[in-house]
Structure formats: structure tokens, C-alpha cells
């Protein structure tokens, strides 16, 4: 086999094994929590949660309004989806995290120090095929233990 044929075969096999690049879904929109489809484990679901997401690859920003047993909470978070570390000001201090794509799912890992304890979370965001439902599977680690949360949002 000559060198040109071998090189062509190597490139073809590499392309086929990697497949075509998959475009990241656009997560922009106003999303309302569907409490009936969400699972909060040992905690009560919020009465209302609205999340406004602005996504222009790689920039991702979200503002969240939540109303529940703790009263009303607002938050603003900003990430880049390239895995670079980001720092956000949150209630009680700073949250450090990073967001990156895992195929067509966005994974956000963050941690925060609260009263000497480290709180860690990992969220996996997935958009439905029709773009009308956003599911966020979360895993939270606290000094008292770990738990999972599933939030399902409907596009408004």
C-alpha cells in the first residue's frame, strides 16, 4: 500500500469514528418550572420559578426568580460554555464554577463556601428535541449528605 493510500485511509477512519461535529443547542428563552414533572427529593418544590436564559455560544447568562417557603429569591449567573472558571456573586458570597458541553448536554459544576462549609453542585442541562422542555438533573453535595434534584422547565 502506498503512503498516499494509507494516509487517506487513516483520515477516513478518523473522520468516521469521530462523526460530524454536533452543534450545541441554543438554551435561550424564558423557562417556567413545571413542578408536577420535577423531583426535589426531601425538599419542597418552589411555588414558582422562572428562569430567563440568554445563550450566545460560548456566553451563557441566566436570571432566576423563585418564590417558595424561604420567600422570594433572585439570582444572576454568568458562565462560558468552554469550561473556563467563572465567579458569580450569590447570596452569602461567591460561587465558583465552570460550564462545558458533553455532547448535546451542558454540564455546570459549581461550589460555594457557606459558614465554613463547602456546597457543591453538578447540573446537567438537556433540551428536548422540540426545544419546548429543558430538564436540569442536579446533584448537590453538602456536609450533611448528598441528594439529587430534577427540574423540568417549560418554554414560555
81 and 24 in contact (C-beta within 8 Å)? yes
For residue range 105-143, list pLDDT tens digits in order: 999 999 999 888 999 999 999 999 999 999 999 999 999
pTM (2 d.p.): 0.84
Backbone angles phi, psi at 73, to 5 degrees: -130, 140
The residue ranges of every structural domain in the chain are 27-155
Fold of 27-155: Lipocalin (2.40.128)
For residue range 66-98, list pLDDT tens digits in order: 999 889 999 999 999 999 999 999 988 999 999
Angle at 108 between CA 105 and CA 114, to 5 degrees: 160
Amino acid at each position: 500500500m502506498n503512503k498516499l493510500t494509507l494516509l487517506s485511509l487513516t483520515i477516513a477512519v478518523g473522520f468516521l469514528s469521530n462523526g460530524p461535529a454536533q452543534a450545541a443547542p441554543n438554551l435561550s428563552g424564558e423557562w417556567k418550572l413545571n413542578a408536577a414533572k420535577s423531583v426535589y427529593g426531601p425538599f419542597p418544590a418552589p411555588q414558582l420559578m422562572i428562569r430567563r436564559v440568554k445563550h450566545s455560544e460560548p456566553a451563557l447568562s441566566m436570571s432566576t426568580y423563585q418564590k417558595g417557603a424561604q420567600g422570594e429569591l433572585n439570582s444572576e449567573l454568568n458562565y462560558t460554555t468552554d469550561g473556563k472558571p467563572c465567579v458569580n456573586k450569590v447570596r452569602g458570597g461567591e460561587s465558583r464554577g465552570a460550564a462545558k458541553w458533553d455532547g448535546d448536554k451542558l454540564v455546570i459544576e459549581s461550589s460555594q463556601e457557606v459558614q465554613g462549609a463547602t456546597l457543591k453542585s453538578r447540573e446537567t442541562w438537556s433540551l428536548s428535541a422540540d426545544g419546548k422542555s429543558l430538564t436540569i438533573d442536579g446533584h448537590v453535595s453538602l456536609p450533611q449528605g448528598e441528594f439529587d434534584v430534577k427540574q423540568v422547565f417549560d418554554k414560555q
